[in-house]
Amino acid sequence: MKTAVVTGGAGFLGSHLCERLVAEGMRVVCVDNLVTGKRENLRALDGSPAFSFLRHDVSRPFEIEGPVDFVLHFASPASPIDYLELPIQTLKVGSLGTHNSLGLAKAKGARYLLASTSEVYGDPLVHPQPESYWGNVNPVGPRGVYDEAKRFAEAMVMAYHRVHGLDTRIVRIFNTYGPRMRPRDGRVVPAFVQQALSGQPLTVFGDGGQTRSFCYVDDLIEGIFRLLESDQVDPVNIGNPHEMTILQFAHAIREAVGSDSPIDFRPLPVDDPKARQPDIALARRVLGWEPRVPLAEGLRRTIGYFREVLENAEA
């Protein structure tokens, strides 16, 4: 049985990844300090002899007993509210956390996968964004703590690959949605869904003309697993290339919920990207991957999850 260590494994994406790796027959060690993750995200794995949980901040050194075959670094605040409230922690987990988890992989001779982000492209001047694009990032703006932490992490991963011969992978994750997103994490999907379910106005920043593309979590995890098993060292975009404006997305949420919530337009936040759309030609070619879950189906599952969350909160 191979062993995988997942940092940030109690978070939205990390918990889904832990489940997938256990389902693939691996022993999984989840390392998380629960600052933004939740232990209950992992309740499906409670009692599994293949799963264990270590509460720890990976910005501090840590060790794992026994052999380790894979280290997957997913620890980081990952929503605007998080990295605006936790800027120093975001920088530390992207730098020190990446260094510590790379050190673990090096010591164990393990394959390493970094969860990077489309935010490395900043407010892009190239559209859609291919992996070859170097980005347009404001390093001193409020979003810079997340953008630059991930750009630094990518640089460190490639340095370990080149200097130490470490077997590494980098996934650039675009907007992803699905069950286990935190209700108030500031991202557009939970915000719109909760507002629509509660009959509140849907908050749209700017004129809503900025674009995003939304990938359902199951599709994303499939792409990450294929990348982990591949020979692809250079970064790979994983996301849904279907682009839509935020205003279009707000109307889609209202229709899916059956809500007549009005739209509440607010000023655009600083450095909010005007466009975000992945070029997934590389993922199609080297991984044979592309998203499969239609937006309507993904929203149905996600809305069902948030209905249950709201009902439990009211009970």
Say if 287 falls within a structural domain: no
pLDDT digits (tens, 9 = 90+) for 10-46: 999 999 999 999 999 999 999 999 999 999 999 999 9
Return the SS3 of 308.
Answer: helix
Asked if residue 49 is part of any domain, the answer here is yes
Q: Is residue 314 part of a domain?
A: no
Residues 39 and 183 in one domain: no
Residue from 90, 78, 86, 105 nearest 6 by CA:
105
Distance from C-alpha of 90 to C-alpha of 142, rounded to nearest angstrom: 12
Residue 283 lies in a domain: no
Q: What is the pLDDT of residue 75?
A: 98
* The total number of residues written for the chain in this structure: 315
SS3 64: coil
CA distances from 313 to 37, 189, 261, 310 (A): 18, 19, 21, 5
37 and 113 in one domain? yes
Say if residue 148 is in the same domain as residue 39. yes
Q: Are residues 232 and 207 in the same domain?
A: no
Confirm whether 160 is domain-assigned. Answer: yes
- Domain holding 253, by residue range, is 178-212+242-276+293-308
7 and 50 share one domain = yes
What is the Rg, in whole angstroms, of the alpha carbon atoms belonging to the chain?
19
pLDDT tier for residue 118 given thresholds of 50, 70 and 90: very high
Do 142 and 199 have their domain in common? no
Structural domain tally of the chain?
2
Task: Output the pTM of the full model.
Answer: 0.96
Whether residues 206 and 156 share a domain: the answer is no
The CATH code of the domain that includes 119 is 3.40.50.720
Backbone angles phi, psi at 8, to 5 degrees: 70, 25
Based on the fold, state whether residues 89 and 139 are members of the same structural domain.
Answer: yes
Residue 230 confidence (pLDDT): 98
Q: Which of 83, 121, 146, 177 is catalytic?
A: 146
Domain-embedded: residue 16 = yes
* CATH code, domain carrying 193: 3.90.25.10
State phi, psi for 125 to the nearest 5 degrees.
-100, 0
Are both 104 and 223 inside the same structural domain?
yes
Which class for 178: exposed (0-12), middle (13-18), buried (19 or more C-beta within 10 A)? Answer: buried
Q: Are 45 and 190 found together in one domain? A: no
In this structure, are 107 and 200 located in the same domain?
Answer: no
Q: Is position 121 annotated as part of the catalytic site?
A: no
Check whether residue 134 and residue 37 sit in a common domain: yes
Three-state DSSP state, 34? coil
Residue at 148 is within a domain = yes
Tell me the DSSP string of 244-302: EEHHHHHHHHHHHHT--PPEEEEPPPTT--S---B--HHHHHHH-----S-HHHHHHHH
Q: What are phi and psi of 113, to 5 degrees?
A: -125, 125
Summarize pLDDT for 224-283 with one digit per residue, the tens.
999 999 999 999 999 999 999 999 999 999 999 999 999 999 998 887 888 899 999 999
Residue 313 resides in a domain: no
Residue 315 pLDDT: 60
Give the mean pLDDT of 173-190. Answer: 91
